[in-house]
Amino acid sequence: MSGLNFDLSTGTISGLRLDYRIDDRHTRFVRGGIDNNRSLSGGGIESSWVAASNNYTYQTAMGLTSVLKPAPISDFRFPYS
């Protein structure tokens, strides 16, 4: 496809990370992120359309890691978007 294509984006990305050692055998973590952006895009010269969009996303993840014996490790994670 020939012509002029463009994509203009602005936005904010934020994140949070928390780690906590319960004891020598157990650790847990929490992660969170926010992405808030706006964009304007359009297609080739043959086309006259322009699209604007506002996007907001939030993701979080939690986990627990446990050392059961010297070799086996149990790892549980729960993501949410």
pTM of the predicted structure, to 2 decimals: 0.58
Mean pLDDT throughout 58-71?
88
Amino acid at 52: A
According to DSSP, residue 51 is labeled E
Using the predicted structure, report yes or no on whether residue 2 has a pLDDT greater than 50.
no
Q: How many domains in the chain?
A: 1
Q: Which residue segment(s) compose the domain that 12 sits in?
A: 6-80
Q: 5-49, pLDDT tens digit by residue? A: 445 556 677 888 888 999 988 999 888 888 887 777 766 665 567
Q: What is the pLDDT of residue 77?
A: 86
- The rounded radius of gyration (Å) of the Cα atoms in the chain is 22
1 domain-assigned: no
Using alpha carbons, list the distances in angstroms from residue 6 to 10, 28, 46, 47, 55: 14, 44, 14, 12, 18
Mean pLDDT throughout 61-67?
90
CB burial of residue 14 (10 Å; 0-12, 13-18, 19+): exposed
Please give the residue that has the higher pLDDT: either 11 or 63: 63
CA 79-34-28 angle, to 5 degrees, is 40
